[in-house]
Amino acid sequence: MPLADPHCHTLASDGMVTPAELVDAAVKAGLDLIAITDHDTMAAAREVEERGEAAGLAVVVGQETTTAWPAQTHILGWFLEKPIARSLSVEDTVKAIRDQGGLVIVPHPFMPTYFASIQPDMLRRLIEKEPVDGIEVMFTAPAGPRRRRLLDGFIDANRERLGALIGSSDCHFGRHDIAQVVTAYEGDFRSAIVERKTTPRRGPGKLSVPTDMFWRQQWRALVDLPVRRLRGQI
């Protein structure tokens, strides 16, 4: 079965690699497909897509969108044509993705943080109105055994409205963290998501992020980019 790492970032947001470095890492890891999902921007998406095509790597164009304050929950959109506006409600973000014919994916759910990661009550309210196309059930973000059990129970209770089961590395460091977790799929990737013919599993990649690179990424993600956004620079 083909392998995908469908949640990847570049220097266009808080990743630490160029489009060329991301594509090179994916090819060397033996992946068949990646999704480029920078935070609140698609500035690097076309370059990643073009470089992927040249290298024989399929690329899904998408975005990881930050929804409204205070929770600022993240929602992934795949197969997008243009960026999704930041700071919409979760429901309006989902609608904006659907309006483009995109697929709605819930990334790294139920993490022990108030921001970025959707929590059970919020997800329950969302899927009561609108099912999603997929949900990450294997990911590298910290969750812990209790949160994992909570997620497993939620999926069992709401399976029909949560779509395909997804695995991803949430790659920010190219060759240092890509393909740790992957999604195996049958046939065409979009059809596999819609028809729920996906299998999340551990991938061939290994975590090997240099310490200084990790802290530089944390600074970019938590300090530099938010300050520049507040100043209207991005």
- Residue 141: predicted pLDDT: 87
Summarize the confidence of residues 28-39 as an average pLDDT.
Answer: 98
Q: What is the pLDDT of residue 82?
A: 97
Distances (CA, A) of 19 to 12, 23, 102, 172, 187: 9, 6, 22, 11, 26
Least confident of 5-14, 111-120, 202-211: 111-120
Q: Is 64 exposed, middle or buried (0-12, 13-18, 19+ CB in 10 A)?
A: buried
Nearest CA to 35 out of 171, 165, 187 is that of 171
Could you report the per-residue pLDDT of 192-214, keeping only the tens digit for each?
A: 999 999 999 999 999 999 999 99
Q: What does the pLDDT read at residue 144?
A: 87
In three-state secondary structure terms, 146 is helix
More confident residue, 134 or 69: 134
Q: What is the pLDDT of residue 32?
A: 98
CATH code assigned at 155: 3.20.20.140
Q: What is the pLDDT of residue 142?
A: 84
Average pLDDT for 13-24: 98
In the predicted structure, residue 61 carries a pLDDT above the cut 90? yes
Percent of the chain at pLDDT exceeding 70: 100
What mean pLDDT do residues 3-12 have?
A: 98
pTM for this prediction: 0.94
Q: Are 221 and 64 in contact (CB under 8 A)?
A: no
Residue 67 has pLDDT above 90, yes or no: yes
Per-residue pLDDT, averaged over 47-68, amounts to 98
Whole-angstrom Cα distance, residue 188 to residue 195?
A: 10
Confidence label for 66 from pLDDT (cuts 50, 70 and 90): very high
Joined together, the tokens standing for residue 98 give: 């659907």
pLDDT tens digits for range 212-233? 999 999 999 999 999 998 898 8
Q: Which structural domain range is residue 150 located in?
A: 3-230
Q: Say if residue 114's pLDDT is above 80.
A: no
The string of pLDDT tens digits covering residues 122-139 is 999 999 999 999 999 999
In the chain, the number of structural domains is 1
Query: Does 37 score more than 90 pLDDT?
Result: yes
Range 17-45 average pLDDT: 98
